[in-house]
Amino acid sequence: MSTQGDGASEYFRSDGVRIQHNPYTAEMELKYGKPGATDAEGFDPYRDSVGPGIYGGLVVRDENGDPVIGKQYQGHNPVPGPVYAGGGYSRMTRALGDVKAVEKLLDEYPELVK
């Protein structure tokens, strides 16, 4: 965190990227929890990061295998989107960054291409 001359504070992630919101408001604490006590599967306003409930997580699927669209995890986005199933990141999300792991997944589960 740094302070500007006008008394306003700026907040930065550990990688130096500026956080566009004040993570220390009462509203943030009420919605997401106190620093160090946020839901690891959701939004952490203090680190400006998201977990698998927001991006890259397993989703609920209907009888046809299609993602169920509805209320998003933690109400983070008011627009309906894929419903988080719990259980962490998807196999593909975990494989990203490792070309061989992605190739292996696609060989085993070609339907992941859709």
Q: What is the mean pLDDT of residues 31-45?
A: 95
Q: Model confidence over 42-72: pLDDT tens digits?
A: 999 999 999 999 999 999 999 999 999 999 9
pLDDT band at residue 76 under the 50/70/90 scheme: confident
Can you give the pTM of this predicted structure?
A: 0.76
d(CA 114, CA 110): 8
113 CB-near residues (< 8 Å, 6+ apart): 106
11: tokens are: 């907040």
Residue 59's CB: how many other CB atoms inside 10 A? 15
The predicted structure's pLDDT at residue 90? 94
Sketch the domain layout of the chain as residue ranges: 24-113
- Predicted confidence (pLDDT) at residue 75 exceeds the cutoff of 70: yes
d(CA 17, CA 50): 15
